[in-house]
Amino acid sequence: MSRRILLLGSTGSIGTQALDVISRSDDLEVVGLSAQTNWRQLVEQAVQHGVPRIAVTDLDLAAQAAEAWTDGEVLRGPEGLVQLVLESGADLVLNALVGSAGLGPTVATLGEGIDLALANKESLVVGGELVMALAEATGAQILPVDSEHSAIHQLVHGEHATGGLDSIEKLVLTASGGPFRGRSRAELEGVTIEQALAHPTWAMGGKITIDSATLMNKGLEVIEAHHLFGTPYERIGVVVHPQSIVHSLITLVDGAALAHLGHPDMRAPIAYALHHPQRVPLPLRPLDLAEVGSLTFEPVDTEAFPCLRMAIEAGTAGGTAPCVLNAANEIAVHAFLGGRLPFLGIPDVIAGALDALGSAPIRAFETLYEADREARAVAAELVEKVAA
């Protein structure tokens, strides 16, 4: 019997690779697709995979899609996206949306008790406490798709099977260091958009690539790991590993460490999440350590890359602080990509928003939506000041 997959964000990097994984499997079936703006590619995917129903988040573009594609149904806007989740009949939802827009579909998925393959780390950054409580209440599984969290999930699962989680001392996420590894803060003055988008090992979308260049992506991943694995921040570490062969590791109470290794290819963690608990063959190059030659590691320079430090501090503060951090980062990255903010202005805007808004207790999801709106407004004002 096929596992029915709903794929949100199917035209992005994770989404297209997920469709490649699904097309190679006889036991996975796509029952719905969504995109923010790229409706033409979305319709092509729907036709190719025999999907009768899609959702386009942008209302104007959704209208264009509905007019052009008459062989299926086009749901519109954020409400249409949630409707697609609720009515899809999916066994598993892969949330590959970018940014805090992924929180609503995550809540809808878990609220229905549907298992979630999560590539949208912002769902846990913004609403981790409530999201994890919702999953526990409904019994839905959250299967991480980020390569680092997929690695830790596999390592933790293996350790749990051999004697429990008390043996785990620390989780260690690896970071490639991005395109500016080794540069001082002074050397980051004036870097261009093209330079920031030139990631050395991973092919990703624009926003996450810039987050990797600032190391904010790794900060968001630390917050995500905290919620996924119930691990205190002081027991989560980050190490720079430019080859991106070791995807993450865990250290144990007896001094040993277990690591997950492989060539950087997102189809591996995607397939792990979609097929869990089974493993399936993939057309990926096996790892040959002699061919790789050497693996190197180095500490993070948080003076040159303060976003990682700010993210961990916001996560430790808790409440709405991670939500403010994420919203301000999205505004700052968008401004940088639009040529309205220098690269070093990104952490300045985030720091300003955190200073202005601090952290408040979270009482409900509406608290998060309000904090997100307020942080975006403050960050937009700061962009104008920093850029002036």
358 among annotated binding-site residues: no
184 among annotated binding-site residues: no
221 among annotated binding-site residues: yes
207 among annotated binding-site residues: no
Question: In this structure, what token pair is assigned to residue 60?
Answer: 């104007």
Asked if residues 91 and 81 have their Cβ atoms less than 8 Å apart, the reply is: no
Asked if residues 151 and 224 have their Cβ atoms less than 8 Å apart, the reply is: no
In sequence order, which residues have a C-beta less than 8 Å from that of residue 188 and are 6 or more positions away? Answer: 180, 304, 343, 344
How many whole angstroms separate alpha carbon 1 and alpha carbon 19?
19
99 among annotated binding-site residues: no
Q: Which of 202, 182, 329, 324 is nearest to 262 (CA)?
A: 202
329 among annotated binding-site residues: no
What are the start-end ranges of the E strands in 83-122? 92-95, 115-118
250 bridge partner residues:
171, 258
How many whole angstroms separate alpha carbon 78 and alpha carbon 347?
29
Question: In this structure, what token pair is assigned to residue 197?
Answer: 């988008």
Q: Which residue has the tokens 């596999």?
A: 154
Q: Which of 209, 208, 187, 188 is nearest to 197 (CA)?
A: 209
Q: Which residue has the tokens 């697609």?
A: 84
303 among annotated binding-site residues: no
170 among annotated binding-site residues: no
227 among annotated binding-site residues: no
How many whole angstroms separate alpha carbon 329 and alpha carbon 347?
8
Our CA angle for 259, 150, 16, nearest 5°, is 130
Q: Which of 336, 328, 300, 106 is nearest to 206 (CA)?
A: 336
148 among annotated binding-site residues: yes
288 among annotated binding-site residues: no
193 among annotated binding-site residues: no
13 among annotated binding-site residues: yes
Q: For 112, how many CA atoms within 13 A lie in the half-sphere containing its CB?
A: 20
How many whole angstroms separate alpha carbon 182 and alpha carbon 195?
14
In sequence order, which residues have a C-beta less than 8 Å from that of residue 63 and are 6 or more positions away? Answer: 76
In sequence order, which residues have a C-beta less than 8 Å from that of residue 2 and are 6 or more positions away? Answer: 26, 27, 28, 29
**Rounded (10°) angle between helices 39-49 and 59-68:** 50
211 among annotated binding-site residues: no
Which residues line the annotated binding site for Mn(2+)?
146, 148, 221
Query: Residues annotated in the binding site for 1-deoxy-D-xylulose 5-phosphate, as ranges?
Result: 121, 147-148, 176, 199, 212, 217-218, 221
* Residues in binding site: 11-14, 38, 120-122, 146-148, 176, 199, 205, 212, 217-218, 221
Tell me the binding residues for NADPH.
Answer: 11-14, 38, 120, 122, 205
